[in-house]
Structure 1
Amino acid sequence: MAKHLMSLILNGQAVGPIEVADDLMMIDFLHEYMNLTGSRLGCGQGICHACVAILDHADGTSEEIRTCITGAHFFNGKRVRTVESHAKRDDAGAVVELNPVQQAFVDQFAFQCSYCTPGYVNAATVLVEKLQRQPVRRSELEQEIESALGKHICRCTGYVRYYKAARDVVETLGLVKEG
């Protein structure tokens, strides 16, 4: 298989240039090259969204990208965040503080087996960042949460708690307008 050089900004750090096979999926690059195993390979078909990473755009917006069906080279020259990037860490790499989304998920015990949790955390993070730019009306909040989290599959049926955690963090951060 042919290989080409790839460079990206991953969790705020420059990576590459590194030689990567043309047919390597991003999830395999994250796991095998970068030892970032937080994004989970669930279905391998882009349906469950356990594998999502966050793609940051130059205009300050972000979106979820399914890494199990997106080749690593798609991310060449781009800014990517994985679930490992959210918590604050000390110089030794130990987690010292969760971000508000992670903390809301813990507070709501919004997981059972936790396999799908990284995807939900990334989805809720993208939602929070969107609402920080443009808060939502209270009457539209449930639709925004459904739009952000609705494609994610939890085989343990933890949906209620994931949605509640997302709602809590949005409200706690003051990202809801009355009306």
Structure 2
Amino acid sequence: MSTRPLKVTINGDAQPVEDIPKELMMLDYLHEYRNLTGTRFGCGQGMCRACTVIVDNPDGSSEEVRTCITGAHFFDGKAIRTVEGHAQRDDAGEVKALSTVQQQFLEHFSFQCSYCAPGFVNAATVLVERLQREPVPRSQLEDTISEALESHICRCTGYVRYFEAVRDAVLKTPGTTTGRS
């Protein structure tokens, strides 16, 4: 099996550069090499988006990328965030505080089996960050949320709770909307 070195930053930590198989999907790299299992293998075809991670671009923007269909080497030199990287942690690695998105998901009980939750958390986080840079009129918020979440699949039909949690996360984040409802 042919290998190539991979250099990637995950959740703010530069990972050791190591040779990995050229064909290895990022999902497998996260699970097998980094022991980060929050990113989920769902459909294996990139349709359900349970495998989504966030790529942090140099310009400060972020985007979702599906890891079950994207090779690990696509991420070479990039900074990514997995669902494990959202909460604030202390020096011992214990969770001190959840992100606003995670807290709203918890408060709205926005999951049943929770298998799809990592993809939804990442999608909502990308949305909140985008709205901090490019706020939308409050009157367009519901459509904006629907558009951001529409490609994510929940087999337990938790969409209403996800939507409500994301709406509250956006509304609790200053500067994400303009005008009145």
Query: Does TM, scored on the shorter chain, surpass 0.5?
Result: yes
> Mind listing any 5+ residue stretches in structure 1 that lack a counterpart?
none
User: What do residues 17-60 of structure 1 show as CA deviations (whole Å, max 9, x unaligned)?
Assistant: 11110000000000000000001000000000000000011110
3-state SS of 1:63 partner:
strand
Aligned to 1:137: 137
**Total equivalences in the alignment:** 179
> Mind listing any 5+ residue stretches in structure 2 that lack a counterpart?
none
3-state SS of 1:20 partner:
strand
1:90 shift after superposition? 1.4
Counterpart code for 2:65: I
1:74 shift after superposition? 0.3
Aligned to 1:108: 108
Matches within 5 A, 1:28-107: 28-107=28-107
1:94 shift after superposition? 1.3
Q: Percent identity?
A: 59
Counterpart code for 1:101: V
In structure 1, distance between residues paired with 2:106 and 2:71: 32
Aligned to 1:178: 179
In structure 1, distance between residues paired with 2:86 and 2:32: 21
1:145 shift after superposition? 0.5
In structure 1, distance between residues paired with 2:96 and 2:106: 15
1:16 shift after superposition? 2.6
In structure 2, distance between residues paired with 1:142 and 1:59: 27
1:139 shift after superposition? 1.7
Aligned to 2:25: 25
In structure 1, distance between residues paired with 2:110 and 2:28: 27
1:95 shift after superposition? 1.0
Counterpart code for 2:167: R
4+ residue runs of structure 1 moved beyond 6 angstroms? none
Moved more, 135-144 or 125-134: 135-144
Task: Provide TM-score, normalisation by structure 2.
Answer: 0.97
Aligned to 1:11: 11
User: What do residues 103-149 of structure 1 show as CA deviations (whole Å, max 9, x unaligned)?
Assistant: 00001000000000000000000000000111110121112111211
Counterpart code for 1:139: S
Aligned to 2:160: 160
User: What do residues 139-174 of structure 1 show as CA deviations (whole Å, max 9, x unaligned)?
Assistant: 211121112111000000000000000000111113
In structure 2, distance between residues paired with 1:8 and 1:170: 29
Task: Provide TM-score, normalisation by structure 1.
Answer: 0.98
1:8 shift after superposition? 1.0
Moved more, 98-107 or 131-140: 131-140
In structure 1, distance between residues paired with 2:145 and 2:169: 11
